[in-house]
Structure 1
Amino acid sequence: MSTLAYPLKEQHWIDTAAELSKEFAKTAAQTDREAALPKENLRRLFESGLDLAILPVEKGGAGISFKTFGRILFEIAKGCPATACIWLMNTGAAETLIELSSPETSAKYLSEFKRGKRFANALSEPSSGNLFLNPVQEAQRLEDGVWKLEGAKRFVSGAELADYFLINVSIDGAPAFFGVERDETLEIHDIWDALGMRGTRSQLIGFNGARLKAENRLGPPSADRQNLIGLGLPWLSLGIAQSAYDALKEHVQRKKLGATGKPLSHAQWIQFETAAVHARLTAAKLLAEHLLDLADQGSAETNVVGMEAKILANQIAKDIAELGIRVGGGSAYTKALPFERHLRDSHAGGLMAYSSELCHIFVGQYELNVKETE
């Protein structure tokens, strides 16, 4: 799959994820049907050590590279996209809180993460959509070093399991980020009846007077800091794309073509379409690998390349899943075949921040040197 070489110690983590993913695939359809959190999958990922692997060695992690992290996410997503999404958000939120908090608060988050406590991102506002870095919900100052939040965050993956949340608010018109521990001021609104990625149960959370303390406020990131979730999102869609592609190949090689007795794979139009999506899937993987290579180098280019990689990954996942529907025919509309689930799951990535539409705008402005202030 990859043009990148992985050190032996890092290949171990990829192999571990691949083996677990085979088991996750056995229950992925049930997780989707029941819109149930894949708790057992998440437990097994934690017990394998994969949750902590991205952390530096001095903090008890394995210090794996970003390119290895992306490949791990890809392997998990092939088996169960909902599990992969929650895992990405858990590790991304925890890593951010550990790395950007004060030393004392960081030590607390690190200790809790090692104990298996769950973390979640709560950044997307109902009114601001994708623009999570520019929150419009203003926190009310109560006293020195304490603010209050009355508002809501949506699409919080794994919300019902989370012990800690990474949130954002506006303070005096400027974005601010905090870690918030679950307490009685947090209310989960059970509105989940999603089209796809149903096992994430990405609920709406109400913050009813949540207290934001200065000691839990995050410091500014360094200029070369890489965003784990932004790097991972293309690989989430690529895992879905690969799973849909593998199912497509298996189906057309097994299913017979009418009275000819030959497999569907002998149909010329299917050969043509398969070649087209395979080439694009390969190209999307190569760009996503390039993204992670840049991230490991600390390159400033990762922002725009990440958006380009997300655009390609989101689209090829949808196109392969749609081809599966066409190839499967009427049966593909039913749960007898996995294609309808792949199709629903494939649309989720393009809606995640930044959405495909915003990524196109940002990349277009970058390429054409368009300044928003002009």
Structure 2
Amino acid sequence: MTVNNTVLEEGIMQIPQWWTCPSGYEELQEKAHLVGKNELLPRASISDQQSLYPRESLRKIAEAGFGAVTVPASDDGLEAGFTGFAVLAETFAQYCASSTMCWVMHTAATQTLYAAGNPEQRRRFIPGVLKGEVGGLAFSEPATGSHFWNVVSSAPRHGDGYLLNAHKSFVTSAGEADWYIVCTNSPDSKLDDKLMFLLVHNDQEGLEFFPFNAMGLRGNSSGPMKFNDVFVPTNNRIGTEGGMNYFNDNVIDPLFLLGTAACWTGVAQGALNAAIDSAKKKVHADTGKSVASYQVIRHELAKAQILIDSSRSIVYRVAQGLDQLVKNGEKIGDHLLPVWQAKTHAADIVIQVTNQALQVSGGRGYLTGQVEKFLRDGRAGAVMGPTNEILREWIGRSLIEVPWFE
């Protein structure tokens, strides 16, 4: 029997593509798998072991046409929406979580620049993004921890611009991105919402970068940054002087939470794929049986895949819902509960699935390698702000119909 030029063996149940990919995004997913296999996977272990920023992998992602995935086609972007973004993030993460997280944050930064910025700023920065330049978000601060939306830093007016002083705690691509959108406060704003976004180039005076040494995601370069008396001209203010919480709720949070949920789902699938491959190939000499021939192993594989597919289904349904909100002209910030659920569930199941993958792989899974790396990478999800505890509180408060944010 032949389906799509692939020879299928009789009696083997095939996993339908509609179950693993939203309709209409099959070619996008196939292209992402090629990039993952040919470009991301070969560099993933090196990036992890040497804490090496995945610059070449990110360049290859951009060369494949995924540098500005959510930017409209009228400005040379891919215009793939939230659904295309989620498909790509989930697929890339099956091969390299560090590259994927850098790309997710880059995409959120690029879309923020596009949505909140003006036409001149778009003309100045989007062409570079298409060629492989990387953007980053500098939001979280040590003083407020995982409450990254609350910042205590400020940038008062200074000549024809602002003087930025800020200490940021976790900045993905710190010291490696070409530019950063820095979230700070404007003490001069007349708005109740003092939040302001400033675009800072990586080579400006006054920037300090610090090493990133973590359990997983070692290629992320998600270290602290300090902005010491950094002058930012007015033409590098993204949006208005204050009033940027709107873009937090309607651009950054949806992309960040959906992208990370897709990433953890992909990490879980990558770990399980590695465990399945090992279980099929490893044969015990005394019994002549492969590890996969034991029923208990097959049951663990099945339970893990069901968890992954539950997360994938939520991620893709949420992504399609967000695209529909945009199409209808509705505010995404009024519909964040499904995004919270997607991130929470994905960050929970990746811990369980990577543990199952290691257990199925036995002692070999405990050795430095793919499964072990996926386990370390995936553990970041639940503690990455907003943490799963914070999100469950927001979900719970919404369910009993009290204000979720205080």
Structure 1 and Structure 2 fold alike (TM over 0.5)? yes
Query: In structure 2, the residue corresponding to 1:121 is in which secondary structure?
Result: strand
The answer to whether the 8 Å contact 1:102/1:215 transfers is no
Q: Which amino acid aligns with 1:116?
A: G
Cα deviation for residue 291 of structure 1 reads: 0.6
The residue number in structure 1 matching 2:357 is 324
Q: Does 1:357 align with 2:377?
A: no
1:144-193 Cα distance to aligned partner (Å, 9 max, x none): x633222211222222321210111122373222222230111111x221
Task: Provide TM-score, normalisation by structure 1.
Answer: 0.91
Structure 1 gaps of 5+ residues are: none
Q: Summarize the Cα distance change of 1:95–1:265 in structure 2 as closer, same or farther, 3 Å threshold.
A: same
Q: Tell me the C-alpha RMSD between the 2 structures.
A: 2.4
Mapped pair 1:184 → 2:205: yes
| 2:171 corresponds to | 156
Question: Are the aligned partners of 2:307 and 2:353 in contact in 1 as well (CA < 8 Å)?
Answer: no
Q: Which residue of 1 aligns with 2:223?
A: 203
CA distance in 2, matches of 1:2, 1:237: 20
Name stretches of at least 5 consecutive residues in structure 2 with no aligned partner: 1-16, 188-192
- For residues 246-325 of structure 1, the aligned pairs below 5 Å read 246-256=273-283, 259-298=286-325, 300=332, 302-325=335-358
Aligned pair in 2 of structure 1 residues 200, 223: CA closer, same or farther (>3 Å)? closer
For residue 166 of structure 1, what is the aligned residue in structure 2? 181
User: Matches of 1:346 and 1:311 in 2, distance apart?
Assistant: 13
1:139 is paired with a residue of what secondary structure? coil
Mapped contact 2:69–2:107 kept (Cα < 8 A): no
> What's the CA shift for 1:99?
1.9
User: Is contact 1:98-1:107 (8 Å) kept?
Assistant: no
State the AA in 1 paired with 2:362.
G
Q: 2: CA distance between counterparts of 1:6 and 1:257?
A: 42
Aligned AA (1:47): E
**TM-fit CA distance, 1:240:** 0.4
Change (3 A) 1:370 1:224: closer
CA distance in 1, matches of 2:297, 2:26: 35
Identity %: 26
**Aligned: 1:78 with 2:94:** yes
Deviations 1:270-308 (A, max 9, x none): 233222222111111111111101111116464111110
Q: 8 Å contact 2:83–2:323 — kept in the other structure?
A: yes
TM-score, length basis structure 2: 0.84
Deviation for aligned residue 1:265? 2.3
Secondary structure, aligned partner of 2:265: helix
1:63 maps to what in 2? 79
For residues 70-91 of structure 1, the C-alpha deviation after alignment (integer angstroms, 9 at most, x for no partner) is 1111111111111111111112
The number of residues matched between the two structures is 369
Alignment of 1:113 onto 2:140: no
Structure 2 residue 376 is the aligned partner of structure 1 residue 344: yes
In structure 2, C-alpha distance between the alignment counterparts of 1:260 and 1:231, rounded to whole Å: 46
1:126–1:153 contact (8 Å) kept in structure 2: yes
Q: How much does 1:205 deviate?
A: 1.0
